[in-house]
Amino acid sequence: MRFTIYQESRIGKRRSNQDRIAHCYSRDALLMIVADGMGGHLHGEVAAQIAVQRVAEQFQREARPTLPDPQLFLSRALDSAHHAILDDALDRQLPEAPRTTVVACVVQRGAAFWAHAGDSRLYLLRRGHLVTRTRDHSRTQLMIDQGMLLPEDAQHHPGRNRIYSCLGGNYTPQVEYSPRTPLHDGDLLALCSDGVWGATDDDGLVVNLTAGVLSQAVPRVMDLAEHNAGQSADNLSMVAMCWHDEHAVGPASAESISTRTMDLDDFESRLDLSGTGSGASGDLDEDEIERAIREINAAINKFDTRP
């Protein structure tokens, strides 16, 4: 595989960062994931952390170097994450289970497979145009589908943040899965939380993401979203990947990654699990913060271990 990838998470104007993001890859498979802890419920950042950590761990157990069935992997991994959130809430005797949106994508054998619950989105861009994006599991999207709300009015609707599918909580998530989607040279996949897309229309996101290298384009999109949102800026997170055909004519980008020389059991990972730069969450007490740090360190050590 050959691709360029960049990820970033920011606190915005919130008191803490409840988003968690990651990407992991073996020689022949790539995982990207964004989880946005639901701030209207207790310990949303814990739910997001558990979701990202569980899915990443399962990917590294199974992608050696490919997943037998990417769609089945996504189904099982997200179900496992959902139940891990419920188990954690039970262990800590929380009054209700934390909740998080999630969007996850696997790229393998030149094709993408993705799944999502809630309003964290995936965008597929090709040659400067939007090919497809995920459909939000939200009240406003249902109203748009029923002709009761115009898309341009959804951003300001009072029910904009009402989500009907998520990991955690009291109900089984309604996870939506994509078909196998072949990738073309130069295709761009972007996964993001609503802090990014909610303050940036599709045209603005496409124009800014496709102008220049990802390490400059992603911060530019996030700068625009923060500026547009002003003092109400939510947490902002994005993982973006540009796919490169290994047989394409022309020089490789200086930022591109080739996995051709990786060993069959090797993995590379970047997990942003602690809300780095956001400060300690005001929703966690000191014991829970220390526990979260221990879990993060244990996960990182596990991911960095080579058999």
Tens digits of residue pLDDT in 186-205:
999 999 999 999 999 999 99
Across the beta sheet with 2-10, the strand order is 129-133, 121-126, 188-192, 236-244, 2-10, 257-258
Residue 27 has what pLDDT? 97
DSSP E strands in 19-108: the ranges are 19-25, 29-37, 99-108
pLDDT the model gives residue 43: 87
What tokens were used for 64? 């050696």
pLDDT of residue 162: 83
* DSSP-derived 3-state class of residue 48: helix
The predicted pLDDT at position 200 comes to 92
Would you list the domain boundaries of the chain? 2-304
Task: Please answer whether residues 193 and 237 qualify as being in contact, where contact means their C-beta atoms are separated by less than 8 angstroms.
Answer: yes
Q: Which of 29, 25, 85 has the alpha carbon at shortest distance from 53? A: 85
> Could you tell me the pTM of the whole model?
0.88
Task: Kindly indicate whether the domain formed by 2-304 is annotated with CATH number 2.60.40.650.
Answer: no
SS3 39: coil
Residue ranges of the chain with pLDDT lower than 50? 277-286, 289, 296-307
Which residues have C-beta within 8 Å of that of residue 261, sequence separation ≥ 6? none
